[in-house]
Structure formats: C-alpha cells, structure tokens
Structure 1
Amino acid sequence: MDKQRYERGWEKLMEIDGEGGQRVIESLKEIAPDLGSYVVEFAFGDIYSRGGLDLKSRQLITIASLLTQGGCEPQLTVHLNAALNVGLTPAEIVEGIMHCVPYTGFPRVLNAVLTAKAVFQERGVTGPGAASRE
C-alpha cells in the first residue's frame, strides 16, 4: 500500500462522502480489504484528487455514469449523498439525471430519479418537484 496515496485518498473520501464512504470501506474489510484500499488509493487518491474539475462536476459525471450502467443503485445512493455533501442542489441533481434520458432511456433514468427521491427524503431535503419545469 502506498501510504501517501492512501492518506490523500482517505482525506478526499471523507471530504466527499464522509460517514457513507467510511461505511463502504469498513464493509469491505472482512471480505475484500484490498478492494477497499484500491477504492481509497485509486478512485479518491488518484482520480478525485486531480485538478481540472470541481467536486460538483465530478459528482454529476459519477451519477450519470452509474445510472447509465444500471443496477448500481447502492453506489448511486452513496454518490447522490456525496453530491449533496459537495454542494449540488436537489434541482441540479435531478436535472443532471434527466439530461441522460435521450442517451440512456427512461427505465434507468426512472430508477435513478427514484433513488434520488429516497436519498432526498432520508436527508430531509426537498426535491425540485414541478417547479423545476421552465
């Protein structure tokens, strides 16, 4: 393990995901601790720590990538929480998800919107609702 990469990644993970990220890494310790290290070192120590994009942009891209794959609702939940943590509003998140409809299709976008709805409800934040249509 590269201690500097891990420490840089852990700091970035805590900045973005906080307790949710910590729970993910903890959940891997008994079954696949190396996978947890890879997530911290590579995804957060190398990729999320790069310059060029702010954390809001990175989270919108991550959300779009996960919803496009489909079947990633647990990971989508983590990153929807992260998006709120880094300052994206529910309206921005939903707009980003809706932007994927022509490229991904309704079923995956509907799954993502319903996942976002559950995250918003859990966090006690208000979704954009009908007011977002302009």
Structure 2
Amino acid sequence: MSERYRRGVEIMQQLSSGSLEQFLTSRVAEVAPDFARMAIEFPFGDLYSRADLGMRDREIVAIAALATLGHGGPQLRHHVAAATKLGISKAEIVEILMQSAVYGGFPAALNALADCHDLLLEGDRVCPGGCHS
C-alpha cells in the first residue's frame, strides 16, 4: 500500500459515514481497480492532505463545485454527509447549494437541493430565511 493511498484512506475514513467500504467494493472498483485506487490517492491522499486549506473549507469547495457543475447524486451526497460530520450546518449547506445557482444556473441548484433533500431534513427542518410551506 503506497503512502498516498494510506493517507487517502485515512482522510476518507475521517470524512465518511461508512461509505468508504462501499466505494472500495463498488462497481467501479470491480471493473477498474486501478482507477478506484487513483480516486483515493490523488484527491484524498494528495490534495485533501495538504495543510493550507482545512477539511471544512475543502468540503465547502467540493459541494459548491459538484452542485455548480450539475454533478449531484452519490458524489454530492457523500460530500454533504461529510460536511455535516465536520460540523457544517444544514443551513450553511442549503446556502452553498443556493449560491451555486449564480454560477451553475437554477437547474443545477434545484437538482442539487433535490438530490440532498433527505440529508438536509434529517433531524430538523432547515429553513434559512424562514420556511414557506
């Protein structure tokens, strides 16, 4: 196991809520094990382990980038779950996703909010600026 991979796995474990094992044994790892390894080594072993930006900020960047580019689904959900684990409030995440409308358009922001609906409502309602039911 390379040092990059070990660092990447440690960081993914710090951020994940049990999804690391799912990723490592996912369909991607089954058909492209080298690519699955690279997906751990480069972003997490190399970039996330750098000292100049904290994990909280890195998760905010990841959420904003994924939402703005319209890449919802499992990747966005993983980063939203990691963000809440790091103490980023659900209200802050809603604001991040709303802000993505400025740069990615309303469809991207609406889809991101819909993709994370259940994660953002777990426990209590999130209503920045007030709920309008």
TM tier relative to shorter chain = 0.7 to 0.9
Aligned to 2:109: 109
How many residue pairs are counted as aligned between the two chains? 129
- Name the CA distance, whole Å, in 1 between partners of 2:129 and 2:78: 27
Aligned to 2:65: 65
Runs of 4 or more, structure 1, over 4 Å off, are none
Letter in 2 for 1:86: L
Aligned to 2:36: 36
- Name the CA distance, whole Å, in 2 between partners of 1:104 and 1:39: 24
Aligned CA distance change for structure 1 residues 18 and 39 (closer, same or farther; 3 Å) = farther
Deviations 1:26-56 (A, max 9, x none): 2033111111110111111001111111111
Aligned to 1:93: 93
Structure 1: 5+ residue stretches without partners: none
- Name the CA distance, whole Å, in 1 between partners of 2:65 and 2:3: 28
Letter in 2 for 1:15: Q
Question: What's the TM-score, normalizing by structure 2?
Answer: 0.87
Q: What is the CA RMSD across the aligned residues, in angstroms?
A: 1.7
- Name the CA distance, whole Å, in 2 between partners of 1:117 and 1:125: 12
Are 1:14 and 1:22, in contact at CA under 8 Å, matched by a contact in 2?
no
- Name the CA distance, whole Å, in 2 between partners of 1:100 and 1:117: 16
Are 1:90 and 1:126, in contact at CA under 8 Å, matched by a contact in 2?
no
1:15 aligns with 2:18: no
Structure 2: 5+ residue stretches without partners: none
Aligned to 1:126: 124
Are 1:73 and 1:115, in contact at CA under 8 Å, matched by a contact in 2?
yes
